[in-house]
Structure 1
Amino acid sequence: MLRFAQSPTRDMHLGDLRVAIFNYIVSKQKNQKLLIRIDDTDKENNIEGKEKEILELLNLFSIDYANVVYESENLKYHQKIAMQLMGQKNAFACFCSDAKIEELKESAKKENKSYEYDGFCQTLSDETILNVNSPFIVRIKKPEENIEIKDLLKGNLLYKSSEIDFFPILRHDKTPTDNYASAIDDMLYDISDVITSEEQLIESPRQVHIRKLLNYDKEINYTHIPNVSSDLENSSVKYLIDEGFLPAAIANYLVLLGNDAPKEFFTLEEAIEWFDIKNISKENVHFDIKKLKELNKKHLQSFDEMRLSKILGFADTDIGRLAKLFLNEVSTIKELKEKINLIFSPKSTCEGFEEEFVELKLCLKDAPYIESFNELKTYIIEKTGLKQEKLLTPLSYLLTGTKTTDISEVYPLIKNYLGEIVK
């Protein structure tokens, strides 16, 4: 079984989604289940409603999963196993204050060394511990030997005992730290493959260390995915969706990034057929919004007119054709909606052509159904006498909301809405 873990303490970012997509693809290729885990043990920082948003986004991207679990639901197991580790002297109560820990970190920084907990509380006797009334956290015993993990992309990785350190497993309120809860939950749910971000490189060996202390001997296959950088001020997935990018296009680009794909334009279902996680770039990748716009436009162009129309809030193939016409200028759903909204928005005047605009509006309000643009133009000339720029510029603005749109192409697609447009 594979799992995708996401914390409800922040937005889902592009790198998170890329990890989720890779987990989904590999689970399909291996014919294994995919578990979604909401890492909600950090109660103070959890954002209300964020876990619902995570699941909604995964569903929006058609990422199938077998089950959703919440780390907080396994609290009793996390605490019970922590007590077991303490009983075996593989974990201990730590009474050091936050100020003391900060002092150790500052001292290490001044000496240009990596911070290590000094292990002071590990030496406390049981009697001393019983007589201390201060709050405490629980720390794991530092490994006596180096910890090795096998990574599909990076090969064998060796971590020194000092890098693992005496890291915390329970907070002051006795809730588990994310890293500890993850190690225990991977055991509980019999996880076989962990595809996660490169940011977890130090956390994974710590999880291996916890499981070793518990004599859990199943080997978990690790793949740490390189990070995704971008020049976007907001790199959250929800932001891109709100900006009008299609989930299919975003997924297409995230799989394409740093990958030797057989073609540039594809769906997730097609990617399952050829994707090989061993072939993705071992270096960080850069997310280019211009490239996403290009792919988004291709996906929109691949839709039939009725489907595209429905996305824009209509059920009319003519509106779908109109949207495809506008794709010569724009590339997102949001931009298409803005174009369509301009057509249907009320227009009171046209700067520089105020009198002509009023004349045109009165003329078209009383106009019969007119099939072609040439027939429309002839009708207006006969009724108003307006010609050339005095006709075309204010007419373009009245029908499209801009003075420069080629209305000869647009009119046949909006003729059925003329009464609504010029009201």
Structure 2
Amino acid sequence: MNQHIRVRFAPSPTGPLHIGGVRTALYNYLFAKKHGGDFLLRIEDTDQTRFVEGAETYIKESLDWCGISYDEGPEQPGDCGPYRQSERKDLYAEYVDQLIGNGRAYYAFDTAEELDAKRKEAEQQGTKFSYGPKNRDDLNNSLHLSAEELKVRLENEEAYVIRFKTEAHKTLELHDEIRGYIEVDTEVLDDKILFKSDGMPTYHLANIVDDHLMKITHVIRGEEWLPSLPLHVSLYQAFGWEAPKFAHLPLILKPSGKGKLSKRDGDQLGFPVFPIEWIDPASGAVSAGYREEGYLPETLTNMLALLGWNDGTDQEFFSLEEMVEKFELSRVHKSGAKFDPEKTEWFQHHYLQEQPVEDLVDQFLPILASNDVYPEKTYVKEVVATIKERATFVSDFWELSFFYFVAPTEFDAKSAKKAWKNDSEEWMRALIGKLESLEDFSKDKVQAEVKDWINTQGLGFGKIMQPLRLSLVGAMRGPDVFHIAASIGKAETLSRLHFAMEKLS
């Protein structure tokens, strides 16, 4: 590619950013960086009725947390700003005038009541009303008005919209970088509204003009925009501009594979569909985010990248840098990708293991404090290094390690039934005698001495090891029991054994 690549992510600030939007941003970012190009963020806020306070900040914070940094955008201006459509509204009128001037757009004065009547009439005849090449000459618009008649109606401030004049009897030949060639008969298209009399452009006009002025070379967006492709390409042709290349990404599907992934799916099945927590400014309702649920940003970007793309190998773990290196639009799939919450947790487990232990300790300390435990940091580091491979989230650490910090006050009934036999008290008393005699209470020394003692007594290991674990942990789980004993120390080990004998015998 010789041209300088420029792509954009252009969300509307109408609420939280769905992970489908994050994936669109990610693919744009990967494509731009792969080709040494620019990734732009543009906020499409022309529809002020749907504007939601805080949504723009949320979008930027989400991208920032995911590590998807943009080269140009609000608060990061380049040569093509401003990057909010509401701040660009003065420039759209001249472009719509251009289309009217070259006969590719017209004024439509139809009232809501007139259009409603046409819709009802079509329904009665078993058809669907569409404002376009087949019927526009019979409707209330400027196509059959003289210049003088039009001038009078505009001077009288009659309400109008400006519609695009779709070319009749034409076959549009379109190309999508993912889906290949598409042919569309213009007779099935309608004349979309480009401009409203309140001076605001519709999405379609603003989007095309902005992409042109911002020198966008590739439009990489969700599959839901595929039906708009004929109009958007027609608009480029009407302006006499070179169109960018288009690529429409596959849908992210529900875990069942039936239909598009929604917030309701996440609520029902217990996983987030938003990158970070969203608090609705109107209702105060809180929607979970991956960040607040304890996921790492690497988990989310890796998981999303593979929902619709792979590099042609069996590799599953990719850093952002590796994704940039490997990403190709030609390897994006056409069909929808099923979201898999369990696979997401699998990625999370992997990336948690990759984290420096010091970082995990810093995140675990507040959890310890909330349990009224304030140990030395070096001790916590040793514990975290031991238990982290069993964890998927830092929030799992307490459940996996509480016995390193506090003695059990009760014993799991099922474990006790299995591990504590009639003669367990007698053998634990003998074990206490053995442990009391040890000067060196390091893991290796305790392990060697206890195993040797079990052998000389001619016992099965389970007879000693099971009640010992139960005494130290309160249940039949946890890492190496000698590691636990050495970590909590001799006095605490003996104390827990005495307590177990008192409670269980």
TM range, normalised to the smaller chain? Answer: 0.7 to 0.9
Pairs within 5 Å for 1:225-244 = 225-231=249-255, 232-233=265-266, 234-238=272-276, 239-244=289-294
Relative to structure 1, the CA distance from residue 96 to residue 271 in structure 2 (aligned partners, 3 Å threshold; closer, same or farther) is same
Counterpart of 2:62, as a letter, is L
Q: 1:12 aligns with which of 17, 24, 27?
A: 17
Point out the more displaced range, 241-250 or 189-198.
241-250
* d(CA) in 2 for partners of 1:171, 1:323: 61
Task: Decide whether the 8 Å contact of 1:394 with 1:403 is kept in 2.
Answer: no
Q: Deviations over 1:144-173 (max 9, x none)?
A: 334332111111222232443111112353
Task: Decide whether the 8 Å contact of 2:469 with 2:481 is kept in 1.
Answer: no
Does 1:332 find its partner at 2:393? yes
* d(CA) in 1 for partners of 2:486, 2:110: 73
Relative to structure 1, the CA distance from residue 414 to residue 10 in structure 2 (aligned partners, 3 Å threshold; closer, same or farther) is farther
Q: Secondary structure at the match of 1:241?
A: coil
Counterpart of 2:305, as a letter, is V
Counterpart position of 1:224: 248
Q: Secondary structure at the match of 2:295?
A: coil
Unaligned runs of 5+ in 2: 1-5, 74-82, 256-264, 267-271, 277-288, 367-375, 414-439, 451-463, 493-505
Q: 1:267 aligns with which of 289, 303, 319?
A: 319
* d(CA) in 2 for partners of 1:152, 1:300: 36
Relative to structure 1, the CA distance from residue 410 to residue 148 in structure 2 (aligned partners, 3 Å threshold; closer, same or farther) is farther
| 1:54 CA drift (Å) | 0.8
Relative to structure 1, the CA distance from residue 60 to residue 107 in structure 2 (aligned partners, 3 Å threshold; closer, same or farther) is farther
Counterpart of 1:13, as a letter, is H
* d(CA) in 1 for partners of 2:70, 2:402: 41
| 1:13 CA drift (Å) | 1.4
Q: 2:217 aligns with which of 186, 192, 205?
A: 192
Unaligned runs of 5+ in 1: 354-369, 379-386
User: What is the Cα-based RMSD across aligned positions, in Å?
Assistant: 3.7
Point out the more displaced range, 103-112 or 172-181.
103-112
* d(CA) in 1 for partners of 2:26, 2:441: 48
Counterpart position of 2:140: 121
Relative to structure 1, the CA distance from residue 264 to residue 129 in structure 2 (aligned partners, 3 Å threshold; closer, same or farther) is same
Task: Decide whether the 8 Å contact of 1:41 with 1:177 is kept in 2.
Answer: yes
Pairs within 5 Å for 1:19-418 = 19-68=24-73, 69-108=83-122, 113-117=127-131, 118-119=135-136, 120-123=139-142, 124=145, 125-127=149-151, 129-130=153-154, 133-144=157-168, 145-216=170-241, 218-231=242-255, 232-233=265-266, 234-238=272-276, 239-261=289-311, 262=313, 263-312=315-364, 316=377, 319=380, 322-323=383-384, 325-327=386-388, 329-333=390-394, 335-336=395-396, 339=399, 350=410, 396=473, 405=478, 408=481, 411=484
Point out the more displaced range, 343-352 or 319-328.
343-352
| 1:192 CA drift (Å) | 0.7
* d(CA) in 1 for partners of 2:488, 2:412: 26
Task: Decide whether the 8 Å contact of 2:163 with 2:191 is kept in 1.
Answer: yes
Q: Secondary structure at the match of 2:221?
A: strand
Q: Secondary structure at the match of 2:10?
A: strand
Relative to structure 1, the CA distance from residue 351 to residue 136 in structure 2 (aligned partners, 3 Å threshold; closer, same or farther) is farther
Counterpart of 1:237, as a letter, is P
| 1:237 CA drift (Å) | 2.3
Relative to structure 1, the CA distance from residue 99 to residue 343 in structure 2 (aligned partners, 3 Å threshold; closer, same or farther) is farther
| 1:409 CA drift (Å) | 7.2
* d(CA) in 1 for partners of 2:167, 2:486: 71
Point out the more displaced range, 114-123 or 46-55.
114-123
Task: Decide whether the 8 Å contact of 1:396 with 1:406 is kept in 2.
Answer: no
Q: For CA contacts below 8 A with separation 6 or more, give which structure has more relative contact order.
A: 1
Counterpart of 1:265, as a letter, is F
Q: Deviations over 1:298-352 (max 9, x none)?
A: 011112211322344579465455446555554234x336648978999997589
Aligned length: 387
* d(CA) in 1 for partners of 2:237, 2:378: 62
Counterpart of 1:90, as a letter, is R
Relative to structure 1, the CA distance from residue 269 to residue 140 in structure 2 (aligned partners, 3 Å threshold; closer, same or farther) is same
Structure (1 or 2) with the larger CA radius of gyration? 2
Task: Decide whether the 8 Å contact of 1:90 with 1:140 is kept in 2.
Answer: yes
Relative to structure 1, the CA distance from residue 296 to residue 75 in structure 2 (aligned partners, 3 Å threshold; closer, same or farther) is same
Identity of aligned residues (%): 23
Point out the more displaced range, 12-21 or 78-87.
78-87
* d(CA) in 2 for partners of 1:52, 1:341: 38
